[in-house]
Amino acid sequence: MSAVIENHHEDHHHGPAKGITRWLYTTNHKDIGTLYLWFSFAMFLIGGAMAMVIRAELFQPGMQIVEPEFYNQMITLHGLIMIFGGVMPAFVGLANWLVPMMIGAPDMALPRMNNLSFWILPFAFFILLSSLFMEGGAPNFGWTFYAPLSTTYAPPSVTFFIFSVHIMGASSIMGAINVVVTIMNMRAPGVDLMKMPLFVWSWLITAYLLIAVMPVLAGAVTMMLMDIHFGTSFFNAAGGGDPVLFQHIFWFFGHPEVYIMILPAFGIVSHIIETFSRKQLFGYSSMVWAMLSIAILSFVVWAHHMFTVGLPLAAEIFFMWATMLIAVPTGVKVFNWVATMFRGSITFETPMLFAIAFVVLFTIGGLSGLMLAIVPADFQYHDTYFVVAHFHYVLVPGSIFSIMAAVYYWIPKWSGNMYDERLGKLHFWLSFAGVNITFFPQHFIGLAGMPRRYPDYALQFADWNMVSSVGAFLFGFSQILFLFIVLKTVMGGKKATGQVWEGAKGLEWTVASPAPYHTFSTPPKID
C-alpha cells in the first residue's frame, strides 16, 4: 500500500502544481479542504471583529461608539458571516479533508464541482461585505431578515444581499451533493454503512439536510426580490400577502440549518472522545439512529421560533412537544459520550479538553433551549437576551469548539507537525473562560427582560453587560493565539508519526503524516 503511494509521489505529474494556479485550479480534496478552512478562519475573524463592535457598544448604557443604524448592520452581518462564512465552510472543509480518507476513497466524487463550490464563496462574501460601503449602508434587519423590514423598509443594498445569499446557497448545495455521492459510491470494499466512522455518518445526514432546505431559503429570498422590485405582495399585507408567511418559510429552512451546524460537530466529538478515552465508542448504532432522528425531527419544529406571532393553540402545542422530543435523541448522544469516557484511560490533550467542554456547555445550551420550548415561558423569553445566550451556548461551545478540537486533532495528520501542547491548552482555557463570561450573564439579563438587537439598554442591566463585554474581548483576542498556533504548526515543529494519537482508530491514521497528496490510489482492504 505505502509503496503505491511513494511511487506516485516520485511521478511528477501527481504532485501539486506550483504557485497560485495550484490553488485556483485544484481538484484535490485536500487542497480544497485547506482553502475552505482558511477562508472560514478569515470569516471568523471578520465576524468576530463585528461582535467586538457590538460588545464595545454594549459595554456601558447610552449611545457610546457607533450609530444605532451601524449597530444594526453589525448585528446582521455578524450573524450572516458567522453562520454562512464561518461555521458552514469550516465543516465543509473538514468533510473535504476527512471523508475521502475515512472511507478509503482516492478523492471526492465530483472534483471539478468541488473546486467551483469553493471559489464562488469568496465572491459571495465580497458582495455581502461591499454592501457596507453602499448608499444607505449594509443590511440592517438582523440575520433572520424578516419581512417587511427586509422588503418594504430595507436599504437599497438588500438586492446585493439577496444575490450573495443565492451564491452561498448554491455553494452549499454543490458541496452537499458531492458529499452524498462520495459516501454512497466511493467507499472502499468492506466499509459498509454501519462500519463508517461517525463523522462520515454525520456528514451524510447533514448533506441530505442541506439539499432539502437550501432551496427553501433560495425561494424565500427570491420572493423578497420579487416584493422589492417586481410589485408582488408575498409578504405585504396591503397587497394581500402575509409577513408571517415569511417567518414560516424562513424557519422551515432555519431550524434544520441549526442542526446542519451541529451534526458534523457530533461526529468530530465522538471520534475525539473515543481516541482519548482509549475505548471503543459506547453505542455506535444508537449514535447513528440518534443523528437520523434529530435530522428528521428538525423538520417539524420550526414554528417554535414563532410562538408569539399568534399561532392557533393546537399548533403551539404540537410544536412545543415536537421540540421537547428532539431532546431525547440528543440526550442519548450525551449519555453515550459520557459512557465512553466512563472508566476510560483518559488523557487531557487539547482536542479532548475542547470535546469535554463541548459536552458540558452544549448540554447547558440544550437545556436552555428546552426552557424556550415551553410556550407560556417563551412568551416571556422571546426576543430577549435569554435567546441570545441559548443559541450562542449551542453554537460557540458546540460548533466552534468542535471545529477547534478537529483542527488540533487532525492538524498533525494534515501538516506532519505536532502543535504546541502548552499553547493549545492556554488557548483552550482562555476560550473556555471567555465563552462562559460572555454568555452566561446573558441568561440573567434576558430573564430580567433585556431585549436583543438594541444598541442601548436600561441602567439595571449595566453590570452584567460590562461583564459580558469583558468576556467577549477575552474570547475574541484569544483567537489570535489560535491563528499563531496554527501558523506555528504549519511552519514546523516536532514531526508527527502516522498514528499521531495512541488511541486513534480509522483509515486516515494508516497513511503517513503529512497525508500524501494522493491517498488510496488502490483501495484499502477492510475486514
Catalytic residues: 78, 107, 143, 171-172, 255, 257, 259, 270, 304-305, 330, 333, 452
CB of 452 within 8 A of CB of 388? yes
d(CA 247, CA 224): 12
Sequence-ordered alpha helix ranges (H) in 231-283: 243-260, 263-277
CA distance 74 to 80: 10
> Residue 14 has what DSSP assignment?
G
Q: Is the dihedral of CA 261, 267, 271, 273 positive or negative?
A: positive
Torsion (CA) 139, 145, 147, 149 in degrees, nearest 10: -40
Q: Which residues pair with 384 in a beta bridge?
A: 451
Q: Which sign, positive or negative, has the C-alpha torsion 238, 378, 362, 262?
A: negative
- Between CA 358 and CA 162, with CA 382 as vertex, the angle to 5 degrees is 80
- CB-CB contact of 503 with 277 (8 Å): yes
Q: Which three cell numbers stand for residue 291?
A: 443523528
In three-state secondary structure terms, 190 is: coil
The closest alpha carbon to 162, from 221, 116, 77, 211, belongs to 221
What are all long-range contacts of 316-321, with beta carbons under 8 Å and residues at least 24 apart? Answer: 316/375, 317/375, 320/373, 320/374, 320/375
Is the four-CA dihedral 129, 65, 443, 474 of positive or negative sign? Answer: positive
CB-based contacts of 61, cutoff 8 Å, min separation 6:
456, 457, 458, 459, 461, 462, 465
C-alpha–C-alpha distance, residues 4 and 460, integer Å: 69
CA distances (Å), origin 351, targets 236, 478, 480: 49, 16, 18
Q: Collect all residues with Cβ–Cβ distance below 8 Å to 170 and sequence separation of at least 6.
A: 117, 120
Residue 62 grid cell: 447610552
Helix (H) or strand (E) run with residue 411 in it:
helix 401-415
Helix (H) or strand (E) holding 186: none
Q: Helices 421-447 and 462-491, interaxial angle, to 10°? A: 160
Q: How many helices (H) and strands (E) does the chain have?
A: 18, 0
